[in-house]
Amino acid sequence: EVQLVESGGGLVQPGRSLKLSCAASGFTFSNYGMHWIRQAPTKGLEWVASISPSGGSTYYRDSVKGRFTISRDNAKSTLYLQMDSLRSEDTATYYCATDFHGTGIPGYWGQGVMVTVSS
Amino acid sequence: EIVLTQSPTTMAASPGEKVTLNCLASSSVSYMNWYQQKSGASPKLWIYGTSNLASGVPNRFSGSGSGTSYSLTISSMEAEDVATYYCLQLSSYPWTFGGGTKLELK
């Protein structure tokens, strides 16, 4: 069974940094692309970033480019999101997700972790 | 950026009623994916590649469409279908979701 467990969220002041982790199990982590998707309170879903199976290719939405860094450690089956220069508009639940059967479609999602950016 | 507009934003359906949710793209996309999110839970992949049901999805659900217009249909509404449904395009970056359709029981 695919399991994704996010951690590292919390309350942080604007301009500060936070690093999210996503521990994966139940599948061969190194074979699949991974994604971060967020949802602001009472709002819809927003794609944040994606990374290829090897980690050699990364993709970001414009609003986080230069501030967020997606990375992975295939030996530890763990996905990361380093978030720097955080803004109030980054406040959201952050979900990690993995490809569905290698299709590239975010098919399996974690339970999410809350990040609150506030002074 | 491809903007996805979902309609209606909210709707209520009676048990047994046929339901159609729409997703309109600002530019042509190759296919559409749909997610179901129940209150307080993570989204679940529901329909992928426009018309393929994800594992465990009841066959009263179906998906169709092409180009800029896609839809998710429930042939006969059931109480367990109450949720918010989102469409997602992966044809070009940034990947974009629709704003969601909240489906309620009448």
Q: Which two tokens stand for residue B72?
A: 């998710």
Partner residue facing A104 (CB), from B37, B54, B90: B90
Mean pLDDT, chain B, rounded, equals 97
Cα-atom radius of gyration of chain A, to the nearest Å?
13
Coil, helix or strand for A64?
A: helix
Across the range A49-53, mean pLDDT stands at 96
pLDDT over 90 at A100, yes or no: no
Give the residue from B44, B82, B80, B46 showing the smallest Cα distance to B63.
B46
What's the pLDDT at B87? 98
- pLDDT, residue A40, reads 97
Tokens at B3, concatenated: 């903007």
Give the torsion sign (CA, B24, A90, A99, B82).
negative
Distance from CA of B15 to the nearest CA of A (A): 26
| Minimal-distance CA residue of chain B relative to A98 | B45
